Structure 1
Amino acid sequence: MVQNVSELTRPKVDYPSILLSTLGFGGIVYSFSALGDLGWSDAKVYGALIVGLISLSIFVVRQLKIENPILELRAFKVPMFTLSVGLIVIVMMSLFSTMTLLPMFLQTVLLVTAFKSGVIMLPGSIISAIMGPIAGKLFDKFSPKVIIIPGIVFVGIAMFLFKGLTPDTSMLQIIIMHSVLMVGLMFVMTVQTYGLNQLTPELYPHGTALFNTLQQVAGAVGTAIFISKMSSGTNQYMESSANPMDPVEKLNGLTSGFQGAFTLGLIFIVVAFIVSLFLKEEKKGVKATQLLQNEN
């Protein structure tokens, strides 16, 4: 049996907040997910987005007013925590999308089976499992910038290589690219620990919940945006093709779409790199403690 080391509480469940968060996050994710198929002109897309944004706005206002919020948004008043959340959101939008696009490229352009696609991505997954603890130990010894910024650089290198994928790219090259991406990811993920370190212990659960929630939303929205970019890039190529029925042209069209999507991913990572330059080395929870003292 695992011993419980924390104090058990029975907080009151605020059902209106649960409903508002469901409508808010659900509406936003659905609108971006449907964007690739329906386009912005469809009422379902912009209608869901409007409902999501309005619900989320009301949710935020309610969390700041009620006594026991389900998400303590005061954590965002801590600058370095907010910066960490923003950084992880940008990176996750790009990385979740890559995890979707890469198998699609392997199966639609290189025409490999789903099983072989998994085998190709397996070395990168193994490397990430090995590098996770290593990145954690390095984070404990060095400043955040020493770990996080090189991680973003690794991810950027991988994205730069991915945007050059062609039907002639070898399996070994893709394995190496994916492995570089996974190494970078493990270093970048330490930004979550850095962000939580900026909070007081009483805000840890809320900080973790905010990270987890926004990661999932960023992944869903990012994947929708990147798939939409890939589809539009493919369509643009085929519309300008002299012989769109040619199988070679169809393959080139798909390749062009994937290259455009990975280029967008590289842009996201460049933005993440710029954001990471503003990370500061601060004592654990100092800003959050000052915030709580000022409010009390």
Structure 2
Amino acid sequence: MEQQAAMAASKPRVIVKHPALAMASMLIGAFVGMFSETSLNIALPSLMVSLGVNTATVQWLVTGYMLVIGVVLPLNSLMTKWFTTRQVVIFGLLDFLVGAVIAALAPTFSVLLFGRMIQGIATGLILPLMFTVAMQVFSPAKLGAAMGACAMVIMFAPAIGPTLTGLILAKLSWRWLFWAFVPFLVAALIFALTSLENVGKLSKPKIDIISILSSVVGFASIVTAVSFASSHGWGSPLVLGLLLLGVIVLAVYTYRQVHIKTPILNLKIFATPAFRAGALMVMLDFGIILSAMYILPMYMQKGLLLPVAMTGIIMLPGGIVNALVSAVSGRLFDHFGAKWLTRLGFFIAIIGSIMLLMTSTHTAVIFVIAAHVVLMIGCPLAMSPAQTHALNALAGPTAGDGSTIMNTMQQIVGAISTALATSLLGIGEAASHASAQGAFTAGVHVAVYLPLVLAVAALIITFTTRSFKTER
């Protein structure tokens, strides 16, 4: 029996010639997608001046992108049952190329936003496929390391994005932020055409139009409502109406997914305790990262009055630490499981958030770097173990559903947390009677309470979940 178990652990679910090369196109595509998700954060103050828009409007370049990802992601499972892995990935990469060119040539804010949202379609297709394919082509014995590599892509791109953006903007126009994607996407296309093999079988199930429409309307309504709250206020009839619509439609969507024979998303897997706990931790972790990475570059430029190039350099140490911890955390999971890694990770993230609350208009740069580094130790330390813990609880086709669900909710939580951070930033800024610099810093302090609350909530989950008891 032990010999059979060892043999099973040494074999992947799907045999491909070169697993690493098969993953290359998706890893590059996911990196570019996640880089694009946060690369504009550091450029938002410049874009506000260049395009003549305010904070509430310019944040749509972030939330609009994540909104499209969140709308497309629930459809990913259906797409992979109608189209091959190669077809979906190649279409996604070509779609991203088109969006990048449109954004780079955009004459107005509206066209720029349109290009960004086209890019969101590609990220929504490629991101969950990366995890699904990794689960299939790597053996269980190597799965922790493989998932760690995937997590490193997701965690490293948002962390390094501000640094590269700052360096680009120091010498070039913001348009080069989009032209820079092109060579990476071309390389990913070459890997997809030469090395990517099909994973999974095409069943071509019946398309449920009601589920698709309710998914799109529900998620879009909630994200749009939270985004509008920063400019219209939380008591606005428009905001409250959209929130109510989103909740009602998503309730219908959830009920339908649980009761129809071929759901777009198999929400029944939330009945698995390990998946439920791991997925919640991943969502909260992503919300911490996105909200903090949205707030921090703007604080440096408007609170500390640092130039954009300097802001990018200050973000670099945290980005490097993020990549290193992401790479190590997957291997640590193979030896220690998720319980202590997630607890330690979220505790460290709480410390990083508290450090950001201690900043002012005169805070030393070294303290800001230290706060960012601490945050970038905690978040990736928890991310990969939580994700692997969740997906390991699923078997067969449900692993694909689990990956799609987690990635969908990550983007929805990311879009909502960014919009909430914008709203809290505005509330804190309006309540302050200090100078423009001091008022903005006061707004930052109010906004930082969001990642702090998310980190505390995630830490509580690590101590209350019973699924850790089943770990080896």
1:212 aligns with 2:413: no
- Could you tell me how far apart the structure 2 residues matched to 1:158 and 1:81 are? 27
Give the share of equivalent positions with the same residue, in percent: 32
1:66 alignment counterpart: 260
Q: Which residue of 1 aligns with 2:243?
A: 49
Counterpart-to-counterpart distance in 2, 1:63 and 1:203: 14
1:241 equivalent in structure 2: none
Of 79, 83, 96, the residue aligned with 2:273 is 79
Q: Which residue of 1 aligns with 2:84?
A: none
Residues 215-246 of structure 1 deviation map (CA, whole Å, 9 limit, x = unaligned):
111111112222211211121122xxxxx6xx
Residue 432 of structure 2 aligns to a residue whose secondary structure is helix
> Which stretch shows the higher mean deviation, 117-126 or 3-12?
3-12
Q: Which residue of structure 2 aligns with residue 252 of structure 1?
A: 438
Q: TM-score, normalised by structure 1?
A: 0.87
Mapped to 1, the partners of 2:452 and 2:305 lie a distance apart of 25
Q: Compare relative contact order (CA 8 Å, sep 6+) and give the higher one, 1 or 2.
A: 1
Residue of 260, 271, 282 corresponding to 1:88:
282
1:262 aligns with 2:457: no
Q: Which runs of 5+ in 2 are unaligned?
A: 1-194
The answer to which structure has the higher helix fraction is 2
How far did residue 103 of structure 1 move? 0.7
Partner of 2:432: 237
Cα separation, 2, equivalents of 1:87 and 1:38: 31
Instruction: Identify if the C-alpha distance between structure 1 residues 104 and 131 changes in structure 2 by more than 3 Å, giving closer, same or farther.
Output: same
Amino acid at match of 1:217: I
1:9 deviates by 3.0
**Equivalents in 2 of 1:180, 1:193: separation in Å?**
23
Tell me what 2:176 maps to: none
1:18 maps to 2:212: yes
CA contact (8 A) 1:143 1:281 kept: no
- What is aligned with 1:184? 378
What is the TM-score normalised by the length of structure 2? Answer: 0.56
Amino acid of the residue matched to residue 268 of structure 1?
L
Q: Give distance in 2, aligned partners of 1:82 and 1:265.
A: 21
The 8 Å contact of residues 285 and 383 in structure 2, kept in 1 or not, is answered as no
Residue 260 of structure 1 aligns to which amino acid in structure 2? V
Contact 2:211 2:256 in 1 (8 A): yes
Preserved contact between residue 198 and residue 282 of structure 1 (Cα < 8 Å): no
**Separation of aligned partners in 1, 2:207 and 2:348:** 43
- Once residues 197 and 245 of structure 2 are traced to their aligned partners in structure 1, the CA distance between those partners, rounded to angstroms, is 43
Contact in 1 for aligned 2:288/2:455 (Cα 8 Å): yes
User: Does the 8 A contact of 1:144 with 1:281 survive in 2?
Assistant: no
Change (3 A) 1:230 1:5: closer
Q: CA deviation at 1:123?
A: 2.0
1:157 is matched with which residue? 351
Q: Name which of structure 1's ranges 133-142 and 268-277 shifts more when overlaid on structure 2.
A: 268-277
Counterpart position of 1:291: none
| 1:111 aligns to 2:111 (yes or no) | no
Task: Provide Cα deviations, 1:29-66, integer angstroms capped at 9, x if missing partner.
Answer: 00001111101232221121121111111111111122
Unaligned runs of 5+ in 1: 239-243, 285-296
Question: What residue number does 2:52 align with?
Answer: none
Q: Structure 2: which amino acid aligns with 1:265?
A: P
Distance 2:309 2:203 in 1: 46
2:470 to 269, 272, 282: 282
Give every structure 1 segment of 4 or more consecutive aligned residues whose post-TM-superposition deviation is greater than 6 Å: none
Q: How many residues align?
A: 275
Q: State the distance in 2 between where 1:41 and 1:148 align.
A: 37
For 2:370 and 2:471, locate their aligned partners in 1 and report how far apart those are by CA, in whole Å.
Answer: 38
AA paired with 1:255? T
174-183 vs 112-121, greater mean Cα deviation: 112-121
